[in-house]
Chains A and B, each alone.
Chain A
Amino acid sequence: MKFGFFLPPRKWLVPVIIAMGVFTGLVLLILHIGKAGSYLSDNPETCINCHVMFPQYSSWQHSSHGRFTVCNDCHVPHNNIVNKFLFKAMDGLRHSTIFTLRLEPQVIHIKKAGQEVVNENCERCHENQIMMMELYRNQEEEEENELLCWECHRENPHGRVSSLSSFPYQQVPKLSPIIPEWLK
């Protein structure tokens, strides 16, 4: 099938261009109100575009990690940039689908792939503190039985409480308005 198949007859060209323009404009508007551009950044406020992440944002902000790390420091891989954005895209698409379909659970748990990434990131920064642990672990335990950092450090950084309703009245930054300043 050639591209020509989709081309309208010459006399329809103008209305079709307009119709396509309307559709593209609509999609751009969706990208704007969905703040699609923000997902390329490392800004922690991006993660609370969806309000189900308010508890995670608040608990992070009140923790010691709140002053020196952002969400992406822990929750996306940092071995190379392709991996980082691939992981971000996969996670992001799943999250947005679930959020749109209102399928978010009352208590959100991290998935296996996410756990591995976070644990690697713990080790990335805290390497010096865990040298002795590493030595011990390699001798005593199989790789698959590996303990995760937060199985002991359980309050770090989000705490053990994580239900959607467990953080009433969180004070988090507001979403930036959709309507530009000059139109108000």
Chain B
Amino acid sequence: MKKISDTIKERPWLGWVLYLVTIILVFLVGLFGSSILERRSESNILVQTVKPINDPEPRNDIWGENYPREFETYLQTKDTNFASKHAGSHTIDMLARYPDLVVMWAGYAFSREYNQSRGHFYAINDIRKTLRTDVPQPATCWTCKSTDVPRMMQKLGAAAFYHTPWNEMGPEIVNPIGCQDCHDPKTLNLRITRPALIEAFQRQGKDITKSTHNEMRSLVCAQCHVEYYFKGKEEKYLTFPWDKGSIVDSIEKYYDETDFTDWVHALSRTPMLKAQHPDYELFQVGIHFQRGLSCADCHMPYKSVGGVKFTDHHVQSPLNNIANSCQVCHRESEAELTKNVYERQDKLFELEGIATNLIVKAHIEAKTAWNNGATEEQMKPILKLIRHAQWRFDFVAASHGGSFHAPLECARIVGTSIQKAEEARLLLSGLLIKLNVKLPVQMPDISTKEKAQKFLGLEMDKLYTSKMQFIKTILPQWDSIALKRQGFLFKYY
């Protein structure tokens, strides 16, 4: 047997063949490598924009030129025709439906007007027109209303943005919650644009950029659908009170220890807390979160139109789209699933009704005690109970869908609210007897919103007139400044 080198020595062309074969082999291996690299890079250019989008780009209609399906479904948040048993996409005058609320918020702008919210489409329109923005408010109130907020925060910095008065910022804020609040314009990846959430994570030692895509499908919502407060009398810095945890008890402890008060109740003089909408907090203690679902799974499910599947940007109650949300996992009929939801809501509303009734009585009895010479000392433990009772009730009542997201936790919270209100009233009876007040204390007639507002001495006609004045004179000015800046003003009404 000859060695290959000997064979080559005999027939030199074989050496050339070996040389060429090796070249071809290495060339092919290299080519294969390049092919893999090229196909890898294809996966990075799947996002193709017809017109490149700036960062920031607050105009949702500009995004819509590139992403017509997503934009069209987003515009469907304009629809106000859906009504479920307790809520829906239309305006509900909550004060008219539950007049007790007027008394519970005495001395606070919520007692003037409080409506069931409509879709994202109306975010600007509704905050401009509510009576609650007639009192001097900081620009912090705009934070969750508009795609113009990231733009202005880039320009001014978050702290300076919050510090500006609400109406000074008016002309700058015209595009309602939309594309760039959740999406990066270059990659379309989900992103967090509101500093409050990032800061809340940092204070807990967590890095929000490490979140998975599925977590982000909830966290983009958690930029706004959470409990928050404005920190500092002057700064009004938007802050999430999660440092001790995000369940109702931990947040209550946080507020107590930082001595935070939203307002002092006009009747009972209680240092009150107003719960915002702790949707993400309550969702986290519910079964759907614990089984790995995200907000988008039910509120923005996949939708197919003409052979294309995409995320439905008509963010809404899943009850209006049971087939694409619930029934992806649950095989029961629409009627059955709706019934299951209503059952949970009904039971919670029953408890909430008991709580409001007791809390209103506690406020009025506390006022009676003050009127009959009760001292700060005597009232202190009572007011603390009232503060906690109403905070806990509000934590559930103000959440959107809390009674479905976490029915058990909500029942526990309202349960403790009732217990605290009862305890406050027990202490109050003792005190009132001591003060020689005849029991039971006479309750005013607050059976309608009008009667309740009259009882508080609110001059609603005056408020409406001045609001109409604002709508007629100031809003057109804001819009014309915005029109000059943007060139085109999409009509969100």
Indicate whether B491 reaches chain A with its CB closer than 8 angstroms: no
Which residues of A, 141-168, contact B by the 8 Å Cβ criterion? 159-161, 163, 165-168
B2 surroundings in chain A (CB, below 8 A): 5
Chain B positions 278-292 with a Cβ under 8 Å from a chain A Cβ: 291-292
B15 to chain A minimum Cβ distance, whole angstroms, is 12
Interface contact A50-B39, CB-CB below 8 Å: yes
Given contacts A26-B29, A159-B302, A159-B304, contact A64 B329 (CB under 8 A): yes
Quick check: A59 and B4 within 8 Å, CB to CB? no
Contact at A51–B1, with CB atoms within 8 Å?
Answer: no
Inside 8 A of B33's CB, which chain A residues have their CB? 26, 29-30, 33
- Knowing A30-B32, A171-B189, the reply to whether A4 touches B309 (Cβ < 8 A) is no
Q: Which of A5, A160, A161, A175 contacts B3 (CB 8 A)?
A: A5
Complex contacts, A160 vs chain B, CB 8 Å: 304
Bound form: Cα–Cα A81–B3 in Å:
44
User: Given A6-B4, A30-B29, A161-B308, are A54 and B43 also a contact pair (CB < 8 Å)?
Assistant: yes
B4 contact set on A, CB distance < 8 A: 5-8
Segment 27-67 of B: residues with Cβ below 8 Å from A: 29-30, 32-33, 35-37, 39-40, 42-44, 46-47, 67
Chain A residues within an 8 Å CB radius of B213:
171-173
Which residues from A are CB-within-8-Å of B5?
8-9, 12
Interface string of A52-64 (1 = CB under 8 A from B): 0011001101111
User: Whose C-beta in chain B lies nearest to the C-beta of A2?
Assistant: B1
Return chain A residues, CB-CB under 8 Å to B40.
33, 175, 178
| A8 CA to B25 CA, complexed, in Å | 19
Q: Which of B32, B44, B291, B301 contacts A62 (CB 8 A)?
A: B301
User: In whole angstroms, what is the CA distance A175 to B213 when docked?
Assistant: 14
Provide the bound-state CA to CA distance between A66 and B69, in Å.
24
* Shortest beta-carbon distance from A77 to chain B in Å: 26
The distance in angstroms between the C-alpha atoms of A100 and B26, with both chains bound, is: 17
In the bound assembly, the distance between CA atoms of A161 and B310 in angstroms comes to: 11
Q: Is the CB of B309 within 8 A of A161?
A: yes
Q: How far is the CA of A171 from the CA of B291 in the complex (A)?
A: 21
- Known: A27-B29, A30-B33, A67-B291. Is A166-B308 also a contact (CB below 8 A)? yes
CB distance from A39 to the nearest CB of B (A): 13
CB distance from B11 to the nearest CB of A (A): 15
Number of interface residues of B (CB under 8 A): 42
B232 at the interface (CB under 8 A from A): no
B181, CB-defined interface residue at 8 Å: no
Nearest CB of B to A133, in Å: 15
Interface size on A (CB < 8 Å)? 47
Residues of B within 8 A of A43 (CB): none
Q: How far is the CA of A27 from the CA of B26 in the complex (A)?
A: 9
A5, A6, A55, A160 — most chain B CB neighbours (10 Å)? A5
Contact with A along B280-324 (1 / 0, CB 8 A): 000000000001110001000110100111100000000000000
- Kindly provide the distance from the CB of A73 to the nearest chain B CB, expressed in whole angstroms: 16
Contact A169-B29, Cβ < 8 Å, known A4-B1, A64-B328:
no
Across-interface contacts of A23 in B (CB, < 8 A): 25-26, 29
Which residues from chain B contact A62 at a C-beta distance below 8 Å? 297, 301-302, 328
Partner of A168, one of B30, B293, B308, B329: B308
Instruction: Tell me how far the C-beta of B80 lies from the nearest C-beta in chain A, rounded to whole angstroms.
Output: 28
B3 touches A51 (CB 8 A): no
* Residue A170 is within 8 A (CB to CB) of chain B in the complex: yes
B190 contacts chain A at the CB level, 8 A cutoff: yes
Q: Are B43 and A51 in contact (CB under 8 A)?
A: yes
Q: How far is the CA of A166 from the CA of B22 in the complex (A)?
A: 43
Min distance, Cβ B344 to any Cβ of chain A, angstroms? 21
**B475 at interface by CB-CB < 8 Å:** no
Q: Which residue of B35, B214, B309 contacts A59 across the interface (Cβ within 8 Å)?
A: B309
Give Cα distance in the complex from A23 to B3, angstroms.
Answer: 22
CA A63 to CA B87, docked complex, whole Å: 27
Which chain B residues lie closer than 8 Å to A33 at the CB level? 33, 36-37, 40
Q: Once bound together, how far apart are the Cα atoms of A105 and B451, in whole Å?
A: 70
Kindly state whether residue B354 has any CB partner on chain A within 8 Å: no
- For B307, give its contact among A26, A58, A161, A173 (CB under 8 Å): A161
Assess whether A63 is in contact with B328, with CB atoms less than 8 Å apart. Answer: yes
Asked if B188 is at the interface of the complex by the 8 Å CB criterion, the answer is yes
Contact B39 A99 (CB under 8 A): yes
CB-based contact A170/B35 at 8 Å: no
Q: Does A82 contact B (CB under 8 A)?
A: no
State which of B3, B42, B188 has its C-beta within 8 Å of the C-beta of A171: B188
User: With A and B bound together, what is the CA distance between A161 and B47 in angstroms?
Assistant: 20
Instruction: Let me know if A4 and B304 touch, CB within 8 A.
Output: no
> Which A residues lie within 8 Å of B26 (CB)?
23, 26
Chain A interfacial positions (CB closer than 8 Å to B): 1-2, 4-9, 12, 19, 23, 26-27, 29-30, 33-34, 48, 50-51, 54-55, 58-59, 61-64, 67, 99-100, 159-161, 163, 165-175, 178
Beyond A55-B309, A166-B308, A168-B46, list 6 extra A-B contacts (CB 8 Å): A62-B297, A62-B301, A100-B39, A161-B304, A165-B308, A166-B307
- Shortest 4 CB-CB contacts between residues of A and residues of B: A51-B43, A64-B329, A67-B292, A62-B302
List 24 A-B residue pairs with CB atoms under 8 Å apart, sorted by A's residue number: A5-B1, A8-B5, A9-B3, A19-B22, A23-B26, A26-B29, A26-B33, A29-B33, A30-B33, A30-B36, A51-B42, A55-B309, A59-B302, A62-B302, A62-B328, A100-B39, A161-B308, A166-B307, A167-B309, A168-B69, A168-B310, A170-B46, A171-B189, A175-B43
